[in-house]
Structure 1
Amino acid sequence: MHVRMQRLNHKPLTYKIEVSSDKAVDAYVRVFLAPKHNHLGEEMDMNDRRHLFVEMDRFPYHVQVGKTVIERNSHDSSIVAPTPDSYRTFWKKVTDAVEGKTQYYIDRSHNYCGFPKNLLLPKGQKGGMAFTFYVIITPYVKQDEHDFEPYDYKSFSYCGVGHGRKYPDDKPLGFPFDRQIRSKDFNTPNMFFKDVYIFHKKLDEVSTTTH
């Protein structure tokens, strides 16, 4: 007897960020997502929902003079953890090793910490659910000679960087939602807000074509 459990997933997505700068600079790009309305369907004030913004991605990028278009795919997100083997795959690997067919190695360098890749987007609703897509770009201030090398700091904003390493960011955890927000003063030129809608569909309703 085989038991299969379905789980939530989402189609791959790509977003483009257009940046205008009067000088070339190393920048830090942070991407967040938060629900727009409360459980009563009322639009929430920015300060009321600042703890609801979830970090979807964070990465350094070299911005050129003039216009720069940053294209980023959800697979490249720095906060997600690799999808672990299913129980069936794990069982087969161990069984084959016990029977002498192959060797099974425990990869201690594998990153098991991070946000589940299949849950990077929330479920949404069948008729669409409103969210706020938020991007902020700040100057990148190097904290260590090897901020991102030789180690792969996947999910470092959720899991840290390990013993003896400096956190590769000069901003506090949760920035810029780590302090009280005055909505009228919060929207600055290095920020961008966009209302987006997330639709929940069953697998047989979703096109198999990915973009």
Structure 2
Amino acid sequence: MSMSRLERDRRGEKVTARKEDTEYDYMSKIVVIGDAGVGKSNILARFARNEFCMEFRPNIGFEFATLFLQVEGKMVKAQIWDTAGQERSRAVTSAYYRGAVGALLVYDITKRQTFDNIQRWLRQLRDLAGPDIVIMLAGNKSDLNHLRAVPVEDGQALADREGLLFLETSALDATNIERAFQSILTQINHIKRLRALGAASRRGQGTTVDVADASGSGKKMRCCST
């Protein structure tokens, strides 16, 4: 999938784009969730701005980036939200999840507790965003393999059991960061396409209605869409 970064937002401050750059086929909101310190903000910074901060800086308030991306021939306005510290007080509310169609669910491969907490985040995600949301499970900080506390097999097994996509990532060296978002957006696009085909198929089938002719006899006529 080819991606072209044309516009970025940070803390709601919109970067003005040329008119031709702002035309898009649809918008996809993706949320990034997980325990504090797993690297969510750096994942967003690496993907949106190709930046990485070595110091841990807890943020206040939600943070998001907006990018215009090519996804299988469609121009997508991807709005990616980071909890930005809200997870520390568990203050992530329904407003954060509202409208989300994709999620990056992150744990730290060097901290087992962050992996053990994934089920809690998953329940919250499905309760507040809906059961059909596309979810990528990401084991972050793969560059620290020598400090690993969560085997790759554990992450893959959880993903298989819960029906999630799965990758290990590193915001430090950019391993699989683009691939993670690519996979989410591609899956969202597939779902949109299948739903559109299903809707078109249902319209084409039409419905059967009773129509009385002039003589008063009942006839059945199939009503078709044009």
Q: TM above 0.5, one fold?
A: no
Q: Which has the higher helix share?
A: 2
Structure number with higher relative contact order (C-alpha < 8 Å, ≥ 6 residues apart):
1
